[in-house]
Amino acid sequence: MIFTWITMTTDDEVKKMIVTKRQPVSIGEMITEEYLVPLKLTQGQLAKAMGVSRRTVNEICTGKRTVTVDTALMLANVFENTPDFWLNLQRRNDIWAALHTPKRKARIENARPIREAFA
């Protein structure tokens, strides 16, 4: 299967994440609630369809493993959607975590535009 898609990221998307107080839905929750339960699939069956171990699927579903590009491509093939769907979901969670972890947020807020840093 060959994928064709366009990804556009704007500053507005990041700004929306900054004001969001609620954590986005996790990939594990999305897989479990929107795919496994309605389709009556087990993690083992999903693992077999993806060509990965059951442990890998379990770690994704429990939030112990993030979705990589390779995993997003596999999930897109299995569930017949796009890799961008999975990568955007991962990105939203990553941004939310960065902005809601005090130590990480402090480091991020410490960064300055290059024109200010060397003025």
Neighbours of 46 (CB within 10 A): 25
Fold classification of 11-117 (topology level) = 434 Repressor (Amino-terminal Domain) (1.10.260)
Domain layout of the chain by residue ranges: 11-117
* Averaged confidence pLDDT in the chain: 88
- What pTM, to 2 d.p., does this model score? 0.79
What pLDDT, in 10s, does the model give residues 36-80? 999 999 999 999 999 999 999 999 999 999 999 999 999 999 999
* Residue 80 identity (one-letter amino acid): E
The yes-or-no verdict on residue 1 having pLDDT over 90 is no
Q: What is the rounded CA–CA span in Å between residue 35 and residue 88? A: 17
Neighbours of 43 (CB within 10 A): 19
